[in-house]
């Protein structure tokens, strides 16, 4: 369709020069998702396909003060943790109780033990003592690598720290003492496949 000005002249759009933009290296491997997002997606896949029933544990919070700026909206102004939380996820797979913590670090060379708490180590030890499966899923975000470390191995490094040793686990130690979790599409983090190798 042709457009004309009021004086009868035809409107011709000027050719636009393409805008030069610097080339950016793009990575589509994770698209900004956190380890927790990936695990939640993986757990939904496991549930939908009848593989396992594993959920993120709710955080026990005591709400103290709530304001109602509108009748249909509530704003929590003050809340406290009721108790120290244990681990992030639990559920059941092939009749076995599963319990694990998920942590990530930006460091490409080591995993800081300050990411864990004494009560979490104790909790995982209790789970294993009752024939459950307890572990930690660690992600090195700088290199997009994810590992599954059994709770007994984590306890070893924890005790080493308490005895005056390193306050972190080196990347080489993680690689040697853990199982690498392959990243995929569905599920994103197939840690069940890794569990199958040791149960």
End-to-end Cα, the chain, rounded Å: 70
Q: Is 88 annotated as a binding residue?
A: yes
Q: Residue 148 and residue 139: Cα distance in Å, rounded? A: 9
Q: Residue 150 and residue 157: Cα distance in Å, rounded? A: 11
**Residue length of the chain:** 199
For residue 191, which of 176, 177, 180 has the smallest C-alpha distance? 180
List of long-range contacts for 20-26, beta carbons under 8 Å, 24+ apart: none
Q: Is 38 annotated as a binding residue?
A: no
Per the annotation, binding residues for Mg(2+) are 86, 88, 101, 120
Per the annotation, binding residues are 86, 88, 101, 120
């Amino acid at each position: 369709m042709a457009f004309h000005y009021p004086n009868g002249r035809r409107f011709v759009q000027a050719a636009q020069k393409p805008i030069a933009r610097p080339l950016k290296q793009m990575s589509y491997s994770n698209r900004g998702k956190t380890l927790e997002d990936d695990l939640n997606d993986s757990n939904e896949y496991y549930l939908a396909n009848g593989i396992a029933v594993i959920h993120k544990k709710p955080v026990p919070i005591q709400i103290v003060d709530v304001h109602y700026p509108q009748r249909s909206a509530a704003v929590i102004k003050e809340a406290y943790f009721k108790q120290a939380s244990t681990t992030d996820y639990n559920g059941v797979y092939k009749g076995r109780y599963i319990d694990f913590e998920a942590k990530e670090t930006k460091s490409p060379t080591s995993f800081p033990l300050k990411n864990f708490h004494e009560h979490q180590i104790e909790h995982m030890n209790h789970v294993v003592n009752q024939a459950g499966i307890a572990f930690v899923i660690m992600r090195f975000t700088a290199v997009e690598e994810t590992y599954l470390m059994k709770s007994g191995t984590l306890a070893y490094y924890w005790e080493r720290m308490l005895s005056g040793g390193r306050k972190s686990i080196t990347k080489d130690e993680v690689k040697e003492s853990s199982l690498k979790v392959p990243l995929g599409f569905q599920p994103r983090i197939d840690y069940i496949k890794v569990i199958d190798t040791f149960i």
